[in-house]
Amino acid sequence: MNELEQALVGDSYAAPPTHIIEGLGDTLVHQAIPGAPRTLYAELWHIVFWQQMSLDWMRGLETAYPATPELPFPIAENIAAEPWDQLCARFLRTSAEAATIARDTASLDRLVRCPSRPGDPTRTMSVRDQLISLAAHNAYHFGRFVLMRQMLGAWPPPSGGFSW
């Protein structure tokens, strides 16, 4: 496993994402957390939103950048349509897809078009850079996710996680 793949699905920077999301039930992931702007469910939904967007761009699908900051977070209809276990399965599937792309080192320098915020020009970056950006985005949000689990008294997960 190369380091880029490790950053996406392994324990390169913290506990693996599979550990970070495990052992949580529907009630806990929808629980409001004092001082936190979102629930655990919303945080993972956001990660999956951008993960899918990045995969689209790497496949040559110029999926539009969200017009407002609220769009990459779930609304009530999204939450009702996708129970926690299905959201986790979608995360794991798209993570595996990103890791497969990272493993294909021959294609990492291929350029892809990545739509930007409304009004900004479309960016062009390599598949490698898009994967690095995705890994950094996920690391940021999984850090928040772990802190939120700690605030709920639900850390470490059953498979273990770093405690510092």
What CATH number did the domain enclosing 55 receive?
Answer: 1.20.120.450
- Residue 14: per-residue pLDDT: 85
DSSP element (H, E) containing 92: helix 84-103
- Residue 163: per-residue pLDDT: 66
Place of tokens 């950094």: 136
In a domain, 146, yes or no: yes
Spans of the chain below 50 pLDDT: none
Q: How many CB atoms within 10 Å of residue 57?
A: 21
Model confidence pLDDT, tens digit, residues 99-125? 999 999 999 999 999 999 888 999 999
Number of domains in the chain: 1
Which residues constitute the domain of residue 42?
3-151
C-alpha to C-alpha distance for 97 and 83, rounded to whole angstroms: 21
pTM: 0.95
**131-153 burial by CB neighbour count: b if 16+ within 10 A, else e?**
bbebbeebeebbebbbebbeebe
